[in-house]
A and B are shown apart, each in its own frame.
Chain A
Amino acid sequence: DQQVKQNSPSLSVQEGRISILNCDYTNSMFDYFLWYKKYPAEGPTFLISISSIKDKNEDGRFTVFLNKSAKHLSLHIVPSQPGDSAVYFCAASVSPSGTYKYIFGTGTRLKVLA
């Protein structure tokens, strides 16, 4: 039972345009959401997060939107750059005791074309 879903395995975008990566979740108890970026042969690196009490968080070219009623999360990258080409994972946490345990989606491979 996949609680966090990324339905697009891949996405290609022209350099300078907007990249929109989507994520859906099923558990309304999730209280924190993150996006990670992963290059081949490296571990994932943290990109941006959002708390369930917010609907938007922005950090430079990266913005995450949260729609709780739709249980939907999206990451916008504007403008997209070739160095953004990577696999992007969304993750959601449950925190029963302060140990935040993240459940990850299956990932979306973004290719930014020069």
Chain B
Amino acid sequence: DVKVTQSSRYLVKRTGEKVFLECVQDMDHENMFWYRQDPGLGLRLIYFSYDVKMKEKGDIPEGYSVSREKKERFSLILESASTNQTSMYLCASSLYGQSNYGYTFGSGTRLTVV
């Protein structure tokens, strides 16, 4: 089974802190994604990466950055956390060119910024 592991299930951070959310996948997938899930808004794409050191902005990249130094690891960085970044963050991965199975998601990190 493909596994996508997010390092923390729950995080509480203070406004202004720099926050790192880590995601690791073990199936050699080229593509990795970060989404956030908010009530009434569904899942919104923050950033994605289709190769090591490659990244592209999604629909809501403001206030975030990402890092992909190794194929299996994709990190989401909140440069200066704000209360409106309180959300459920979901990491996902997929094989290049494979459409019919979509993504494999991690279990999510619920981040609260106080």
A62 within 8 A of B: no
A34 within 8 A of B: yes
B90 within 8 A of A: yes
Knowing A41-B108, A42-B107, A101-B48 are in contact, say whether A32-B31 is a contact too (CB < 8 A): no
B84 within 8 A of A: no
Q: How far is the CA of A99 from the CA of B32 in the complex (A)?
A: 10
Which residues in window 35-86 of B have CB below 8 A to A?
35, 40-45, 48, 50, 58
Counted as pairs of residues, one from A and one from B, with CB atoms less than 8 Å apart, the total is 75
Check B41 against A42 for contact (C-beta < 8 Å): no
Q: How far is the CA of A41 from the CA of B90 in the complex (A)?
A: 11
- For A, the interface residue count at a CB cutoff of 8 angstroms equals 30
Query: Which of A12-20, A44-52, A68-76, A78-86 is found at the contact surface with chain B?
Result: A44-52
B34 within 8 A of A: no
A36 within 8 A of B: yes
Q: How far is the CA of A18 from the CA of B49 in the complex (A)?
A: 39
Shortest beta-carbon distance, A87 to chain B, in Å?
A: 9
Point out the residue from B43, B48, B110 that lies within 8 Å of A44, measured CB to CB: B43
What chain B residues lie within 8 Å of A41 (beta carbons)? 9, 107-108, 110
Check B42 against A43 for contact (C-beta < 8 Å): no
Check B107 against A100 for contact (C-beta < 8 Å): no
Residues of B within 8 A of A (CB): 4, 9, 30-31, 33, 35, 40-45, 48, 50, 58, 90, 92, 94, 96-108, 110
Please give me the 10 A-B residue pairs with the lowest Cβ-Cβ distance, nearest first: A43-B105, A106-B42, A104-B43, A98-B97, A99-B50, A34-B102, A32-B99, A104-B42, A100-B99, A49-B100
